[in-house]
Amino acid sequence: MFRQARKPIEDEERKVTDPVRSRERTMNRAVKLLAAKPRSVGELRTRLLEKRWTNEEIVDSVIAKLSEYKYVDDEQFAKDLAVSKLKQKPQGKRRLQQSMSHKQLDRELVDRAIESAYEKIPESGLIDIAIEKRIRLKGVPETREDTKKFYDHLMRQGFGFGLIREKMTEVVKRRQDDDDQL
């Protein structure tokens, strides 16, 4: 599943004999990589520079052309990725920040994308989904230990402590109300 990290190719190891052919091959590789999945400019640059038959100058010109065509756009990529990750699995801001940090994007860009994603899908709604799922799987926490495990689970999902406490208070209150009705 995970690619093994390759050691970077040094400039003196690169063999660009035919720059036109090399640019064409680099462009074809870039298009194939982008067809497989969306990538940030940094990720694409790293993957393109894995080949000996290209160099930074050629890669930069290919990325510039792809940007011109709007095939690579870090801002749009970050926004789409943030929303996609939230739809895939409810998670808090900290966890989303961590997962997006691996995408070789500017931190400010990531922060703006995360804010935009949480405007579309509020964190309070996401934690409700996470709580419902946990209750479906494990049931309503009965003991203090169960409640702590529930808290810990939500913390690992990246939700903030204040939000977790607020929502867990509602869950415990609901359980007490259900017990009182019996």
Average pLDDT over residues 125-151: 92
DSSP state of 71: S
Give the pLDDT band of residue 140 (cuts 50, 70, 90). Answer: confident
- pLDDT tens across 52-108, in order? 889 999 999 999 999 999 999 999 999 999 999 999 999 999 999 999 999 989 999
132: containing domain:
123-181
Domain count, the chain: 3
Give the model's pLDDT for residue 26: 96
Residues 78 and 62 in one domain: no
Q: Would residue 36 count as lying in a domain?
A: yes
Residues 17 and 31 in one domain: yes
Q: Tell me, what amino acid is at 135?
A: I
Domain boundary among 25, 50, 68: 68
pTM above 0.95, yes or no: no
Say how far residue 90 (Cα) sits from the centre of its chain: 12
Report the half-sphere exposure of 27 (CA within 13 A, side-chain side): 13
Domain boundary among 89, 105, 120: 120
Say how far residue 150 (Cα) sits from the centre of its chain: 24
